[in-house]
Amino acid sequence: MNKPRDAGLSDTHFIRIDPERCEFLVPRWAFTDQAVLDKERAEIFSRCWLYVGHASEIPKPGDFVVRKVGGRQLFLWRGEDDQPRVYFNTCTHRGAIVCRERQGNAKRLTCPYHGWTYDTRGGMVEQPGASGFPDDFFANGAKDLKSPAKVDSYRDFVFVNFDPEAVDLKTYLAGAAEYLDVVADQGEHGMEVTPGEQAYSMRANWKLLYENSADGYHAITAHASYFDYLRATVGVFREDFNPHEVGGGGKSLGNGHAVIEYQAPWGRPVAQWVPQWGESGKEEVGRVKAELASRLGEQRADRIANWNRNILIFPNLIINDIMGLTIRTFQPINPGYLEVTAWSLAPRGEHQEMRAWRQYNFNEFLGPAGFATPDDVEMLELCQQAYQNMPEVGWNDISKGMNRPDNNQGDDEVQMRSFWIRWDELMGAARHEKV
């Protein structure tokens, strides 16, 4: 194993913080070591609240979607009583996958192996050859579908927690809840996930994507070709935008969650107009902005309309409220490989012209064939491959901005430090210092 000999898994500090030098170091073997991932599965993915899906994805009773979450196979199924529920996608008999389509609608699901059948409340309702079992064998839910220890939702974002001792979802979300409110408040009639899922992957450790998702520092170099594209495209910038005054910055939101918030140079379907969208777009954006102001007040409407937010919810949910609105979650498969799934979130009932711009915008920067994400994938894969230079070159540096703790800029690395401190805490290290 390629790691320093003094770096034990249980009794040594993973990260090194030197407040005097304003230095924050993360060991590179945290990205490559199977034993670290095993411990992460136990201490993070089995104890934290994990995102499963959005209630709008299962609008009608019987609707379901299947998901891989935290190394488990789950599905989200709306009951005939209209309650969304989450089940482990496994028959209680011999374990086969019960819900075999990626999404659909069913009043009952039958295991294809021996025909055990469940209703939308997870209840075992039928099985062939019942005479081979005692009368009360299936009583009291003994063989019903199993659910994660805790299932809860916040503003239609559905989460699970596999730990019965976990704190409740709202407490867990801490300062991130307010940012989910900012997102959820954008739709006059609520929010919905649009059709079309982007399922992709990276040959990199999952923590690299968490870091990258709110890393303002890499934009100028890694995404230089995206800025070239913007310069070649007429009317994509807000006319009064001053790139030297984007304001905002990064901050920790507690429990490992973090955000960077800054002024948006580009068009936002909710609700900032750019000349590319023409006069009809201007009219619609104006209407959306006025509706926001009347419902939420001028100040909150301005914040929603003119500011971007990259929201990091520990450990694996990213909501980027930028030129579009993304929900992105990712699962570690092995230390050097992760799977991403991403969706576009939009106000329910959005005007078709704004919906078209929203999706067009999303594809411009984001997604596995956008003008930026493939370069991010490349960067993460370059990091992952180069971590083979251990033990000789063993530490990552994420110190930027530690010399100005009260004035974090958008290209500082406070959001990563916030992640790593929480990660370190959960992974069992005793050390815990202020970022």
Binding site for other proteins (CB under 8 A): 102, 194-203, 222, 224-225, 228-229, 232-233, 337, 339, 343-344, 352, 355-356, 359-360, 362-364, 367-369, 371, 373-375, 377-379, 381, 385
Assign 403 to helix, strand or coil.
coil
Query: Taking the complex as a whole, how short is the minimal distance between the CB of residue 351 and other proteins, in angstroms?
Result: 11
Query: Residue 124 or 379: which CB sits closer to other proteins?
Result: 379
DSSP 171: H
Query: Taking the complex as a whole, how short is the minimal distance between the CB of residue 200 and other proteins, in angstroms?
Result: 4
Alpha helices in 241-307 (DSSP H): 278-296, 298-306
Torsions phi, psi for 228 (to 5 deg): -60, -40
Tokens matching residue 231: 């310069």
Count the neighbouring beta carbons within 10 Å of the beta carbon of residue 207: 24
Torsions phi, psi for 301 (to 5 deg): -60, -40
The greatest distance separating any two alpha carbons of the chain, rounded to the nearest whole angstrom, comes to: 76
- CA-CA distance, 83 to 80, in Å (whole number)? 7
Residue matched to tokens 């050097």: 336
Query: Residue 10 or 352: which CB sits closer to other proteins?
Result: 352
Query: Taking the complex as a whole, how short is the minimal distance between the CB of residue 37 and other proteins, in angstroms?
Result: 17
CA angle, 217 then 221 then 222, to 5°: 90
Query: Residue 1 or 224: which CB sits closer to other proteins?
Result: 224
- CA-CA distance, 248 to 251, in Å (whole number)? 9
- CA-CA distance, 328 to 315, in Å (whole number)? 12
Q: Are 274 and 284 in contact (CB under 8 A)?
A: no
- DSSP assignment of 202-220, as one string? ESS-HHHHHHHTT-STTHH
Query: Residue 302 or 375: which CB sits closer to other proteins?
Result: 375
Query: Taking the complex as a whole, how short is the minimal distance between the CB of residue 320 and other proteins, in angstroms?
Result: 13
Query: Taking the complex as a whole, how short is the minimal distance between the CB of residue 23 and other proteins, in angstroms?
Result: 28
Query: Residue 105 or 147: which CB sits closer to other proteins?
Result: 105
Closest to 80 measured CA to CA, from 101, 58, 100, 98: 58
Query: Residue 27 or 367: which CB sits closer to other proteins?
Result: 367
Tokens matching residue 339: 């799977």
Query: Taking the complex as a whole, how short is the minimal distance between the CB of residue 212 and other proteins, in angstroms?
Result: 13
Query: Residue 4 or 368: which CB sits closer to other proteins?
Result: 368
Residue 70: half-sphere exposure toward Cβ, Cα within 13 Å: 26
Q: Write the CB contacts of 42 (distance below 8 Å, at least 6 apart in sequence).
A: none
Query: Residue 364 or 413: which CB sits closer to other proteins?
Result: 364
Query: Residue 101 or 168: which CB sits closer to other proteins?
Result: 101
- DSSP assignment of 234-260, as one string? TT-B-TT--TT----EEEEEETTEEEE
